[in-house]
Amino acid sequence: MSTVITFKPVSTAHSNAPVLEIGHLAVGYRGSDGFQRVVHDVSLRVRPGEVVALVGESGSGKTTTAQAVIGLLAENGRLEAGAVRLNGTDIAGWSQKQLDTIRGSKISLIPQDPTSSLNPVKTIGAQVAEVLQIHRRGSRAEIDARVVELLARVGLSRPELRAKQYSHELSGGMRQRVLIAIAIALRPALIIADEPTSALDVTVQKRILDLIDELRREYGTAVLLVTHDLGVAADRANHIVVLKGGRIQEQGPTSEILASPRSEYTRKLLADAPSLGKIRAVPRARSPRIRGSDDAIVVQNLVQDFSVGGRREAFRAVDDVSFTVQRGTTHAIVGESGSGKTTTARGIVGFQKPTSGRILVDGVDVTTLRGENLRRFRKTIQLVYQNPFASLDPQQTIFQIVEEPLLNFDPLPRDDRARKVHAILERVGLPQSVLTRKPRALSGGQRQRVAIARALVLDPQVLVLDEAVSALDVTVQAQILELLEELQQALGLTYLFISHDLAVVRQISDTVSVLHNGRQVDSGLVEDVFLRPGSAYTRELISAIPGQRNVSPR
Amino acid sequence: MSRYVIGRIGQAALVLWAAFTVSFVLLQALPGDAILIKFLNPELGLGPEQIAEIRASYAADSPLWMQYFTTATNFLTGHFGYSIHAGVPVGDLLLANLPPTLWLATLGFLLSLVLAVTLAALSALSPFSWLRSFIQSIPALFISTPVFWLGILLIQVFSFQLRLIPVINPGPWEALILPVVTLAVPISAPLAQILMRNIDHVLTEPFVAVARAKGASHRWVLSKHVAKNAVLPTLTIGGILFGELLAGAVVTEAVFGLNGIGGLTQRSVGDQDIAVLQAIVVFSATAFVLINLTVDLLYPVFDPRLRVRQGALA
């Protein structure tokens, strides 16, 4: 590399010269319909040892801004105007070759999805060593030793073993630790953390964010934290920048933004963020149930085993789970990945036969149903899936999607079907104009409304909502939750709400079961479980909800 | 691991048995047979009894199921019977015709690999997008080139006009140059296309962005991260393309007048020499199955994800 770059000596955390200074940044993408600017006039500063959070919903330009800083815009993207000063040097106009000399050494990246961010065919050790090799830091033996040291530093047990393992042999949290080890390997002045914990379970999320905090304090590294989660930003950042539509809505010290937001948009974000529940301190007021106290769902001693890889021994995914759900109420099943919550839901819908135990839905024993009876039974219980982008057939129009369940059951004349589709669409708050469109022309929130309409068109008794709002932006999430609430009141629906997000669960549920490794560790009324958790695991879950610290770290 | 190997070997055996059975049934179902074609010739003046005797000597008069089992047992012990037309053991015929085809196929496959990798590398490294789209359109041209036409064109240009390669009495290597090129060009096309698409796909993977964020250059990323990931799906198609290679060899040998398995197949079809055809089918199926078995067994070597058993616990 021929370019010699001189950086001002990285002084300790007390120097006030910003590590990163973005001035009037504008970024655009060349698309099929011409050039489109997605980031307009963004200016911000990150000082040594400081965490600045870029907060916004999808499409707000937060990730584009971060990518522009590290010079990794998509191929059709272009930095159009503005300055990106790293320790005083403007790198906005630098070539990729020049940027290669500072990426990894002066700026580094902690990416969003740890699973796809590690090369599946290279060992963990090789991928950590790579950053040292690229910047020629030390001999082979020195690099190998440093790799083990780094893996140990980020809290991985048995680092020598981990170095020889492949990405698929590690859990999500361990993978993110590996990526953090890569990011801190050369002690960069600035780390860009792009949604570093969005793909992780809440307890893992807390541990990873704690680790980033700790390393930041230890090395005096500045962090540009990109997140959609205001709770995370509130907990971790000194300074918050709120983006919408590629423009800064407002920015300022975290405490000020939280306490007295100036822009309308920030106020709305704060109101919609379920994880900032403590800040709002208004527990959801559930209307008392007047209807009869009959049970819509009864689950008794549910056990589900799976055989593992041809071996004789079985893996117990659900272990002795029991709960009842009153008609017209919402029961939440909460747990992290691998807790058995989805397996439980699949048993209730009748997708798989439990190993033992009883499941009654609307008085019918699901476990004994077969063939046509099982198919008929599906009319009373419907599913809404997590990902509204994958659960709708891209080739069908919205009308066809919503109409399809009607064709599978009692044959209705065409006019009646159309009338029903129109009525249900209005019910979920979609304009009739979407009927002729395909799913790709709709936003995420609209798609999830379509999925709800499709589930409701058969007039089911029970709706199973499997992470139904997890993929949505907070404001959209709040709207969908409101819609679900309203539908429940009007139609007397019973919800089974599967979620990893305790904050959302607290908002929408009457009762809750907390699952951990297939066992039910806590259950009862939501407020009881939240205020007086019966198990250490539930306590850990509750304390891991972001947005509780309210005060930024010093 | 051993379960994987045993499973794949079992599948291979099953495919071979199916190939043998299907070809046996189809060949028997053909109207007429080689004995009639050869000995019914009026010039030989053989009477019906004598022909029946000849049929008996080839065991052609025994019931079909018995023929099936005898043939199967003989094949398993390495006896492929006698060519009715040439009157020599089929095994000898195959051995005599194998080397040219083996050379043609091996060199053709290697050249197609070189062509495909070169095209993919040029496309991945090209600094301009117009150059890249130009290179990416080359395989489409290759794939739409018929083997016989390309062969004749190459002979016209290199042998008759440029007089670089003699048509009459060429050396053993000179004789192979044009056939190998003819065979390699259409086979390289799907390989190159898949390789290019895989490279483009892998380049959008988040781990590539992470590598760039470490300060890795485009070339570093291509050689250390993209290459291996992009080659993996190409392995399967490589195995399947071997079938194309056999089909291509028949036409190529005919165009260039080479004496190989392709030529032998062509003549045996004309003579309805069932014993030879049966042996060729089983031989090709064996080669095809062995290549694909090798590919399957190579996968875990390249892809660590396939080395361990994965289950609900993983």
Please compute, for residue B129, the number of CA atoms within 13 A of its CA located in the half-sphere on the CB side. Answer: 3
Window 154-183 of B, Cβ < 8 Å to A: none
Which positions in chain A have a beta carbon within 8 angstroms of at least one beta carbon in chain B? 70, 72, 96-97, 100-105, 107-109, 111-113, 116-122, 130-131, 134-135, 166, 168-169, 179, 182, 306, 308-311, 315, 317
d(C-alpha A362, C-alpha A4), whole Å: 74
Chain B positions touching A117 (Cβ under 8 A) are: 206-207, 209-210
Query: Does A294-373+461-469+493-539 match A20-273 at the fold level?
Result: yes
Higher-pLDDT residue of B153, B38: B153
Please compute, for residue A409, the number of CA atoms within 13 A of its CA located in the half-sphere on the CB side. Answer: 16
DSSP string covering A336-375: -TTSSHHHHHHHHHTSS--SEEEEEETTEEGGG--HHHHH
B232 contact A CB<8A: yes
The per-residue pLDDT for range B183-236, each reduced to its tens digit, is: 888 889 999 999 999 999 999 899 999 999 999 999 999 999 999 899 888 888
B61 contact A CB<8A: no
> What are the two backbone dihedrals, phi and then psi, of residue A320, each rounded to the nearest 5 degrees?
60, 60
Contact B255, B151 (CB under 8 A): yes
Chain A interface test: which of B207, B221, B223, B307 (most A C-beta within 10 Å): B207
Query: How buried is residue A319: exposed, middle or buried, by Cβ count under 10 Å (0-12/13-18/19+)?
Result: middle
- pLDDT score for B26: 86
Domain range summary for chain A, segments of one domain joined by +: 20-273, 294-373+461-469+493-539, 381-459
d(C-alpha B8, C-alpha B12), whole Å: 6
> Looking at residues A228-233, what average pLDDT do you find?
88
Q: How far does the CA of residue B82 sit from the closest CA of chain A (Å)?
A: 47
Residue of B nearest to A66 (CA): B213
d(C-alpha A412, C-alpha B21), whole Å: 52
Query: In the block, which residue shows the tokens 């990730």?
Result: A63
d(C-alpha A45, C-alpha A15), whole Å: 14
User: What are the distances in angstroms from CA B195 to CA A342, B190, B243?
Assistant: 38, 8, 19
Would the CB atoms of A134 and B209 count as touching at under 8 Å? no
The per-residue pLDDT for range A432-479, each reduced to its tens digit, is: 888 888 888 888 888 999 999 999 999 899 999 998 888 788 888 888
B227 contact A CB<8A: no
d(C-alpha A227, C-alpha A246), whole Å: 14
d(C-alpha B51, C-alpha B53), whole Å: 5
In this structure, the number of other CB atoms found within 10 A of the CB of residue B158 comes to 16
The per-residue pLDDT for range B79-114, each reduced to its tens digit, is: 888 887 777 888 888 888 888 888 888 889 899 999
- pLDDT score for A312: 59
Average pLDDT of every residue of chain B: 83
Helix (H, G, I), strand (E, B) or coil at A252: strand
Residue of B nearest to A109 (CA): B213
Percent of chain B residues topping a pLDDT of 90: 18
Would the CB atoms of A104 and B305 count as touching at under 8 Å? no
Complex prediction ipTM: 0.78
Instruction: Name the CATH superfamily housing domain B90-306.
Output: MetI-like (1.10.3720.10)
Would the CB atoms of A121 and B224 count as touching at under 8 Å? no
Would the CB atoms of A120 and B303 count as touching at under 8 Å? yes
Domain A20-273 maps to which CATH number in 3.30.750.210, 3.50.50.60, 3.40.50.10470, 3.40.50.300?
Answer: 3.40.50.300
Task: Name the DSSP letter for residue A110.
Answer: E
Would the CB atoms of B304 and A166 count as touching at under 8 Å? yes
Least CB-CB distance to B214: which of A120, A134, A317? A134
The per-residue pLDDT for range A396-432, each reduced to its tens digit, is: 999 999 999 998 887 888 888 999 999 999 989 888 8
Q: How far does the CA of residue A285 sit from the closest CA of chain B (Å)?
A: 40
**Interacting residues of A278 by C-beta distance below 8 A, sequence separation 6+:** A547, A548, A550
Tokens of A410: 């009692």
Residue A121: pLDDT band with limits 50, 70, 90: very high
Average pLDDT of every residue of chain A: 86
**Interacting residues of B103 by C-beta distance below 8 A, sequence separation 6+:** B176
Per DSSP, what are the bridge partners of residue A486? none
The per-residue pLDDT for range B158-181, each reduced to its tens digit, is: 888 887 777 777 777 777 888 888
d(C-alpha A49, C-alpha B196), whole Å: 44
d(C-alpha B155, C-alpha B168), whole Å: 12
- pLDDT score for A283: 42
Per DSSP, what are the bridge partners of residue A37? A28
d(C-alpha A70, C-alpha A188), whole Å: 12
> Looking at residues A485-493, what average pLDDT do you find?
90
Tokens of A256: 């000020």
Contact A26, A81 (CB under 8 A): yes
Tokens of A370: 């077969």
B313 contact A CB<8A: yes
Chain A positions touching B217 (Cβ under 8 A) are: 96-97, 100
Q: Residue A5: is its pLDDT beyond 60?
A: no
Contact B192, B116 (CB under 8 A): yes
Least CB-CB distance to B207: which of A107, A117, A308? A117
Q: How far does the CA of residue A121 sit from the closest CA of chain B (Å)?
A: 6
Domain A294-373+461-469+493-539 maps to which CATH number in 3.40.50.150, 3.40.47.10, 3.40.470.10, 3.40.50.300?
Answer: 3.40.50.300
Percent of chain A residues topping a pLDDT of 90: 48
Considering only CA atoms, which of A272, A341, A266 is closest in space to residue A504?
Answer: A272
User: What are the distances in angstroms from CA A204 to CA A419, B242, B312?
Assistant: 48, 49, 20
Would the CB atoms of A100 and B206 count as touching at under 8 Å? no
Contact A369, A350 (CB under 8 A): yes
Percent of chain A residues topping a pLDDT of 70: 92
Q: How far does the CA of residue B114 sit from the closest CA of chain A (Å)?
A: 24
- pLDDT score for B32: 66
- pLDDT score for B50: 77
Contact A65, A243 (CB under 8 A): yes
Query: In the block, which residue shows the tokens 């008085």?
Result: A363
